[in-house]
């Protein structure tokens, strides 16, 4: 970054959090929120400030390129004042890494969590103005509305905390640059929960200004859903898929269908046990999750699946969905064929299939009034529909 640039304010955007509590497969700053990542939304708020500021994004080492791409999208042509650096093992280390990149001309530094993605531009402006007006550290904060109890190690209530004296801190938190530099140079990385605590430990005065309800931190899946609601609604996280499977009857009397063995009924021919119902369920689930079909996931050229039961495929499919962040909600299947007579064993089949899928499975049966291969008793068809949810 060019030393000749003369900017008075810098914003360090901490985007190095792992997102473990959010349950995401990537750091939470890079999780999508209604078409934009949390980091992108944070940067857009900053870029709407009336005067230019330096922006330093602190990202995980594996996501520096992603963070730079987001920064370039939000602030095209402003590479000199919007940069990305690698974060540390702790939040303290990450902020210190960002401070090391701040321009010499900067005299006010704001530190912001990318996870507070809906923070309005006005709050950044208010914090900066308050730092310049008071020379103190500034924390946007909200009154605590819950009744608070002081407890012992067993959970026993020792007393009631006076919530009138308590505030819930938010970001951005703002500070005079020279004092914040000195505070971070002197502080231990493990002693403090936020930047105001680091600043105050070295004698810096800290005061609060009113925060904003939408500047909440997105930490859990509940928070992410709340953020979607604030933006106008949760995107459809449910998906529907359809699966169809057909097998012809063979000669041996060894039929497996809908997870059940049917003594005295001719088997369905196929590479595996020929359970058309189980296979249709697999295709419906895979289709809903966008994971292909049973043939692409459990190929007939794989000897491991020769004569495999329907349970192997259904449970394997559910595992594939889980690995991709999906879970079944329910499945319905209709069997098309003249035999076996299904109604007497419907509940038994539904119980078995529900256990395999881990969600309710309903099964019905019909004939084609003598039409087609099923009507001629040459085989069985199964049609399944599945509803899955993205977790």
pLDDT in tens, 248-291: 998 888 889 999 999 989 888 877 788 999 999 999 999 998 88
Give yes or no for a contact between 100 and 24, defined as CB atoms under 8 angstroms apart. Answer: no
Q: Whole-prediction pTM value? A: 0.61
Q: Which pLDDT belongs to residue 45?
A: 94
Rounded mean pLDDT, 193-203:
91
What average pLDDT does the structure give for the chain? 90
Q: Phi and psi (nearest 5°) for 311?
A: -60, -40
Q: Phi and psi (nearest 5°) for 280?
A: -65, -40
Query: Band of the pLDDT at 299, cuts 50, 70, 90?
Result: low
Query: Band of the pLDDT at 304, cuts 50, 70, 90?
Result: low
d(CA 325, CA 259): 26
Q: Does domain 238-390 have CATH number 3.30.1330.50?
A: yes
Residue 3 has pLDDT above 60, yes or no: no
Q: Name which of 197-201, 272-276, 378-382 the model is least confident about.
A: 272-276
* DSSP summary character for residue 272: S
- Token pair of 269 as six digits: 């021919």
Q: Which pLDDT belongs to residue 287?
A: 92
Query: Band of the pLDDT at 300, cuts 50, 70, 90?
Result: low
d(CA 328, CA 359): 6
Residue 214 has pLDDT above 60, yes or no: yes
Give yes or no for a contact between 179 and 202, defined as CB atoms under 8 angstroms apart. Answer: yes
Rounded mean pLDDT, 335-343:
91
Query: Dihedral of CA 272/278/280/282: which sign?
Result: negative
Q: What is the domain partition of the chain in residue ranges?
A: 9-230, 238-390
β-bridge partners, 176: 108
Residue 161 has pLDDT above 90, yes or no: no
Q: Phi and psi (nearest 5°) for 349?
A: -65, -45
Greater pLDDT, 130 or 150 = 130
Q: Which pLDDT belongs to residue 170?
A: 96
Give yes or no for a contact between 103 and 110, defined as CB atoms under 8 angstroms apart. Answer: no
Burial code of 278-310, b = ≥16 C-beta within 10 A, e = fewer? bbbbbbbbbbbbebebbeeebeeeeeebeebbb
Whose tokens are 């819950």? That residue is 146
Most distant pair of Cα atoms in the chain: their distance: 90
Residue 377 has pLDDT above 60, yes or no: yes
Query: Band of the pLDDT at 191, cuts 50, 70, 90?
Result: low
Q: Which pLDDT belongs to residue 97?
A: 95
| pLDDT tens for each residue of 65-83 | 999 999 999 999 998 899 9
Query: Band of the pLDDT at 234, cuts 50, 70, 90?
Result: low
CATH number belonging to domain 9-230: 3.90.550.10
Whose tokens are 């299947």? That residue is 333
């Amino acid at each position: 970054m060019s030393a000749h640039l003369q900017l008075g304010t810098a914003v360090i955007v901490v985007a190095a959090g792992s997102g473990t509590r959010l349950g995401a497969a990537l750091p939470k700053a890079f999780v999508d929120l209604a078409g934009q990542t949390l980091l992108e939304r944070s940067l857009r708020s900053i870029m709407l400030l009336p005067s230019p500021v330096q922006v330093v994004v602190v990202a995980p080492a594996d996501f520096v390129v992603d963070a730079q791409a987001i920064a370039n999208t939000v602030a095209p042509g402003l590479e000199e004042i919007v940069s990305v650096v690698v974060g540390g093992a702790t939040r303290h280390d990450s902020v210190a890494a960002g401070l090391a990149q701040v321009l010499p001309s900067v005299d006010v530094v704001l530190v912001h969590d990318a996870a507070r993605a809906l923070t309005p531009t006005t709050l950044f402006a208010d914090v900066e103005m308050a730092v310049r007006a008071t020379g103190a550290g500034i924390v946007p904060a909200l009154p605590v509305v819950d009744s608070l109890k002081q407890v012992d190690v067993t959970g026993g209530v020792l007393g009631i905390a006076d919530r009138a004296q308590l505030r819930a801190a938010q970001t951005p938190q703002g500070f005079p640059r020279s004092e914040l530099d000195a505070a971070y140079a002197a502080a231990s990385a493990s002693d403090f929960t936020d930047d105001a605590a680091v600043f105050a430990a070295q004698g810096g005065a800290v005061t609060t200004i009113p925060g904003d309800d939408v500047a909440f931190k997105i930490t859990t899946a509940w928070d992410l859903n709340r953020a979607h609601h604030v933006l106008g609604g949760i995107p459809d996280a449910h998906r529907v898929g359809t699966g169809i499977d057909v097998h012809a009857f063979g000669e041996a009397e060894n039929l497996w269908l809908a997870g059940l063995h049917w003594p005295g009924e001719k088997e369905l021919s196929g590479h595996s046990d020929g359970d058309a119902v189980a296979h249709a369920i697999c295709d419906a689930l895979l289709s809903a999750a966008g994971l292909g079909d049973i043939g692409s996931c459990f190929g007939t050229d794989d000897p491991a699946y020769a004569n495999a039961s329907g349970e192997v495929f259904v449970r394997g499919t559910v595992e594939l969905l889980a690995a991709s962040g999906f879970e079944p909600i329910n499945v319905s299947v209709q069997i098309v064929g003249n035999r076996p007579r299904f109604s007497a064993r419907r509940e038994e089949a539904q119980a078995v299939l529900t256990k395999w899928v881990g969600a309710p499975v309903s099964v019905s049966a019909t004939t084609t009034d003598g039409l087609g291969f099923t009507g001629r008793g040459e085989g069985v068809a199964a049609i399944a529909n599945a509803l899955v949810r993205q977790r």
